[in-house]
Amino acid sequence: MTTNNDQQGYLFSKGYSYYVFGLLFLLYMFDYIDRMVIVSLFPYLKQDWGLTDTQCGLLVSTVYWSIVLLSFPISVVIDRWSRKKSIGVMAVVWSIATISCAFTKNFFQLFLARVAVGAGEAGYAPGGTAMISALFPEKKRSIMVGIWTAALPLGSAIGIVAGGFIAVHLGWRHAFGIVALPGFLIAILFFFIRDYKTVTLEQAPDGAQGSGDKSKMGPAEIARQFTRTPSLILTYIAFAGSMFLTASYLSWLPTYFHRMEHLSMEKAGMKGSMVMVLAIIGFPLGGFLADKWRDKNIRGRLLFPAVSSLVTAAVFFVAFYFFEGSIQYYIIMLGGVTAAAFSPAAIAVTQDVVHPGLRATSYSFCVICQNLLGSSLGPLFVGMLSDTYDIRTALTIVPVSSLVAALLYFSASFFYKRDLAKVEKMALQAEE
């Protein structure tokens, strides 16, 4: 195997780097299959247990709340211990927790099982992001993150479609057990890959690059990596606005089509999943365009998510306020592409402007922010407004969050170049 100095920024050989990347992609896909399978089961839970829309929204939101609580401590372990072992353990935990959902007998038990799913998933995105940042050169960071995050809509769509299909033919309980098994098997493989050596938390005096006189970073210096990096803080908050929109539509589009077009939940789930599948285009396309813009203008890594978020807000508002039927659906499908485009560049920023030994921790703060202020609130917000008014009104209001995100990304772009210049530069080393 080669180090990142041997092949133009690759940690291992290109072939092995892409093998590890493939496992990371599959685990992220099953992460979201297990997370989102419950969305297509809402009508069955409402029928069997008499749940409200608010309670159904809570079953999605609780996963994100669990991630909020545990993402930071788990990410510290990832940065200071082992990426591969941490990721393997987490995937085993969330798979077992998903299987346990099949054996619940009431809302409270299912709620607790979903908490456990979130506990298992809490550190996967930070750990996976740190590994990808190490595996590939910085100039390819957005595009590789974009391809990796395409697993999110793919997994969500598979989870929703599979959940609806299995519920119709075998019963809703079987859906949890069947989707959990493949992720468990892939998790075992992860214990046998190679990792990069844990990075010593050292920095040159006053961030002076190239200095051989480095000192160990204490808690205050580590804290300053985040508190004195405005492009990072603004990106965290903007990410939350983007994910508020994404989580809202991921969770409620199938129910929207079920109610407004009187489709069976199986067909409504399929229709909703097609919108999510289009994000498979949006993620890598967004990463590619952001990298190209950054080549010409360093601020492009943040200007691109600002523009794409503005377009997303306009597309979804127009769709739900002005149209219905086929025309509305075509516009929503366009939104499926644009809503995903912001993510690769925004994630790359969380890796670009921090010390290499703090990358998982950096993205954990992004995960906390996006889930606390975005993903956990979006489904609940829509459920509450749907109970009070109707689901169309709720989904018409959601795009405001993407508009706010666009303004925050644009503001962050003015600080990016300066923050990037302060980062300690060092080569990562592969494990022996």
Structural domain for 391, as ranges = 14-421
Whose CA is closest to 398, among 315, 321, 331, 317? 317
**Model pLDDT, residue 5:** 44
Question: How many separate domains does the chain show?
Answer: 1
Does a structural domain hold residue 47?
yes
**Model pLDDT, residue 3:** 44
Per 3-state DSSP, the chain is made up of helix, strand and coil in percentages (nearest 5) of: 80, 0, 20
Phi-psi region of 190 (alpha: psi -120 to 50; beta: other; left: phi over 0): alpha
Confidence category of residue 8, pLDDT binned at 50, 70, 90 = low
* Contact partners, residue 422, CB within 8 Å, separation at least 6: 207, 229, 353
Does a structural domain hold residue 70?
yes
Does a structural domain hold residue 431?
no
Higher pLDDT, 161 or 117: 117
Does a structural domain hold residue 426?
no
CA 361, CA 349: separation in Å to the nearest integer? Answer: 13
pLDDT in tens, 285-318: 999 999 999 989 999 999 999 999 999 999 999 9
Does a structural domain hold residue 393?
yes
* Contact partners, residue 414, CB within 8 Å, separation at least 6: 299
CA distances from 219 to 77, 92, 117, 226, 357 (A): 15, 32, 31, 11, 13
CA 229, CA 180: separation in Å to the nearest integer? Answer: 39
How long is the chain? 432
CB 343 within 8 A of CB 240: no
CA 88, CA 90: separation in Å to the nearest integer? Answer: 5
Tell me the CATH number at 229.
Answer: 1.20.1250.20
CA 354, CA 362: separation in Å to the nearest integer? Answer: 7
User: Residue 134: what residue type?
Assistant: A
For residue 184, is pLDDT > 70? yes
**Model pLDDT, residue 9:** 66
Mean pLDDT of the chain: 88
